[in-house]
Structures are given as structure tokens and as C-alpha cells.
């Protein structure tokens, strides 16, 4: 079966650091993706991991442990505009299909 879990909601303060976790159990694995989705808008690509370890991209970093079926997205120096939903998605072995988690709604407070 396919199962991806994320916390439903998180709250953090402007300027702080927040970590959004994602655990997955999928029949295949060919990469894990994080997307950002502002309310009423399309998801946009943030980061990609296929090997274990940390990928850093400015204020955003993503970590993957394939043996644990675990990833996290780390957001530093939070800004109000980071208030959005963050979607974790696993790509299947054939590299075409994506299985999405339910998304984590992050609220950044002043």
C-alpha cells in the first residue's frame, strides 16, 4: 500500500526555524519531493531528495533517510509569506507517478 504521513498543522513565529516531518511507506521509491502551496494557488516545487542526506537551498533544506522512510523540510528565518501548506510527495519506481501526503498547513505569526 501507499501511505504518507505529515502533521496537519503547525504554527511558528516570524524569524524562527521550523521542521516539517514526513514519513512514508510506499511500494516503490524514486525520489521525494516537497512542494509549497499558498491558499487558492497551485503547488510549486521546493526541493528534491533521492539519496540520503541534506539538500540545502537558501532558507529551505530537505533531509532524507531512505532506510527509515523519513524526510523533513527545514525552513529558517521564517517570514510571513512562508505561511502556506507544504506537501510531501514520493515518486514511484517508474519515475512518472507521484503519491502525495495530506499536506501540512504552516502558519507564521508575527
CB of 67 to another protein, least distance (A): 19
CA atoms within 13 Å, Cβ hemisphere of 110: 0
Cβ closest to another protein, residue 69 vs residue 78: 69
User: Closest distance between another protein and the C-beta of residue 11, in Å?
Assistant: 18
Shortest CB 29 distance to another protein, Å? 12
Whether 46 and 59 have beta carbons less than 8 Å apart is answered as no
Instruction: Give the integer Cα–Cα distance in Å for 79 and 71.
Output: 22
Strands 53-57 and 18-25 turn out to be unpaired
- Contacting positions for another protein (CB under 8 A): 4, 8, 30-31, 33, 40-45, 48, 50, 87, 89, 95-103
Amino acid at each position: 500500500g501507499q501511505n504518507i504521513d505529515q502533521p496537519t498543522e503547525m504554527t511558528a513565529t516570524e524569524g524562527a526555524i521550523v521542521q516539517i516531518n514526513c514519513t512514508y511507506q510506499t511500494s516503490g521509491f524514486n525520489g521525494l519531493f516537497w512542494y509549497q502551496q499558498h491558499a487558492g494557488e497551485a503547488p510549486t516545487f521546493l526541493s528534491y531528495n533521492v539519496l540520503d542526506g541534506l539538500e540545502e537551498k537558501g532558507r529551505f533544506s530537505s533531509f532524507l533517510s531512505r532506510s527509515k522512510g523519513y524526510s523533513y523540510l527545514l525552513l529558517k528565518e521564517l517570514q510571513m509569506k512562508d505561511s502556506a501548506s507544504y506537501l510531501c510527495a514520493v515518486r514511484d519506481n517508474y519515475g512518472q507517478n507521484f503519491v502525495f501526503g495530506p499536506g501540512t498547513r504552516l502558519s507564521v505569526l508575527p
